[in-house]
Amino acid sequence: MTNTPDQVRPFRIDVPQAELDDLRERLARTRWPAQPAGTGWSRGVPVDYLRELAAYWRDGYDWRKHEAALNDIPQFTTEIDGQTFHFAHARAADPGALPIVLLHGWPGSPADFMKIIGPLSERFHVIAPSLPGFGFSTPLSGSGWGVNRSAAALIELMERLGYGRYGLHAFDAGSGVANTMRLLAPGRIAGLHLALAATDDMLGVLAPDGTMSVRPGIAAGQEGMGNFQIQSTRPQTLGYGLTDSPVAQLAWIVEKFKEWTDPAAELPEDAVDRDHLLTKVTLYWLGSLGASSAHFTYELRRDMARPVEPGEGSPGAVPVGIAEFSADPAVRPLVDPQGVAAHWSGFERGGHFPAMEQPALLAGDLRDFFTGRH
């Protein structure tokens, strides 16, 4: 049967065993750098910590177990504007339930939402797409796949699925995609829910007209922006190391879990289950996403200078909800200086990855915000 662009096809993750064997062999042959004594995390991920984590990834982590758990969630692919889009889609029992789109950031994928898709699908239809260059929305069909083009494609995806009105939840780069969807199709958006944390390097600033500018967050600084600077300027060069060395990919992601998760967590696995974290890293390794996701960051930076033309309706009329994790009293005046948000929740626990760190809190806040917003 010939595939047509409007087809939605079932998808199942089935990684060849040879790829898993290759991963273990590469981990076993890692060349480890030396580290000056007493420097700890101050110059990056400590070698002793990463050695132990890599050994567990090689000999203790069971990909097949987590692959099966991912496959418990219905998944699909479709082609939009020449690009393959992958998405998880869990329908509620009520056909008239409100759909909610969950949008990840970097480093992320729909797997970030594994612990909340099930609980949310008791009340809502849940759609969790992989942004272009992430998850299984690969390979990239070409350049230009940043925030603006992705937002237009996801509006098309929701139309293709038969959903004329839906809610949006997002964090990190996904927030830019969600807000652009609100600008392009405000009449279709029942509400926009954003997650943020005081540990974030960048914060969106809400304006009454529905626009959202970006400014440095409380945690921003020269040391905290290195990953963005490299990915947004030299994604291809960075991609060689991340695609060839699983330990390089592991370190690149784990560092962000040390810096961006709940400040009370001493180590990444104190904030996020170690196996859940390694499932994320394994997806990046198997899909060579280190390079392709960096290209998304490259395009995102350029999209920040390319305003979109709003669609019919008023973006400012779309209700906005905020869930702030590791709440800091200085964040709300920065993000919502004019009191635009219709809903604001401050949680003392959690950080940049709330669906992984505090899934029950996030799921509860999403239910509170979206219930009754058809």
Calpha distance 180→207 (Å, rounded): 14
The answer to whether the beta carbons of residues 91 and 120 sit under 8 Å apart is no
CB count within 10 Å of CB 89 equals 21
pLDDT of amino acid 203: 86
pLDDT in tens, 348-372: 999 999 999 999 999 999 999 999 9
Mean confidence (pLDDT) of the chain: 94
DSSP state at residue 318: S
Question: The tokens 């580290």 sit on which residue?
Answer: 35
Give the pLDDT band (50/70/90) at residue 4: low
Residue 221 has pLDDT above 80, yes or no: no
pLDDT score of 224: 65
Beta strands in 209-271 (DSSP E): 212-216
- What is the CATH architecture of 8-370? 3-Layer(aba) Sandwich (3.40)
Buried b (16+ CB within 10 A) or exposed e, 56-82: ebbeebebeebbeebeebebbbbbbbe
d(CA 285, CA 287): 6
Which residues share a beta bridge with 21? none
- pLDDT in the model for residue 216: 80
In the DSSP assignment, the letter for residue 21 is H
Q: Tell me how far apart the alpha carbons of residues 68 and 209 are, in angstroms, rounded to a whole number.
A: 44
Quick one: pLDDT at residue 1? 32
Is the pLDDT at 337 greater than 60? The verdict is: yes
The pLDDT of residue 297 is above 70: yes
* Rounded mean pLDDT, 207-218: 83
Sign of the CA dihedral running 93, 95, 100, 102:
positive
The CA distance from 23 to 20, in Å, is 5
Mean pLDDT for 9-15 is 98
- Asked whether the beta carbons of 31 and 47 are under 8 A apart, the reply is no
What Cα–Cα distance (Å) separates residue 279 from each residue in 63, 70, 253, 268?
7, 10, 12, 14
Q: What is the pLDDT of residues 149-204, one digit of tens each?
A: 999 999 999 999 999 999 999 999 999 999 999 999 999 999 999 999 988 888 88
pLDDT of 226 reads: 83
Tokens 């060069």 correspond to: 237
- Residue 5: pLDDT band (50, 70, 90) is low
pLDDT of residue 307: 78
Selection from 181, 251, 259 nearest residue 220 by Cα: 259
> What pLDDT score was predicted for residue 351?
96
Other C-beta atoms within 10 Å of 286: how many? 19
Q: How many residues does the chain have?
A: 374
**pLDDT digit string (tens) for 88-121?**
999 999 999 999 999 999 999 999 999 999 999 9
Which helix (DSSP H) or strand (DSSP E) does residue 244 occupy? helix 235-244
pLDDT confidence of residue 313 = 81
Q: How far apart are CA 314 and CA 262, in angstroms?
A: 36
Q: Is 55 helix (H, G, I), strand (E, B) or coil?
A: helix
By the 8 A CB rule, do 291 and 238 touch?
Answer: yes
Structure tokens at 92: 């509620």
Helix (H, G, I), strand (E, B) or coil at 166: strand
Tokens of 296: 């998304």
Residue 361: Cβ within 10 Å count: 20
89 within 8 A of 74, measured Cβ to Cβ: yes
Say if strands 320-325 and 343-347 run parallel, antiparallel, or are unpaired.
parallel
Q: Residue 2's pLDDT band (boundaries 50, 70, 90)?
A: very low
Q: What is the pLDDT of residues 240-293, one digit of tens each?
A: 999 999 999 999 999 999 999 999 999 999 999 999 999 999 999 999 999 999
* pLDDT band (50, 70, 90) for residue 220: low
pTM: 0.96
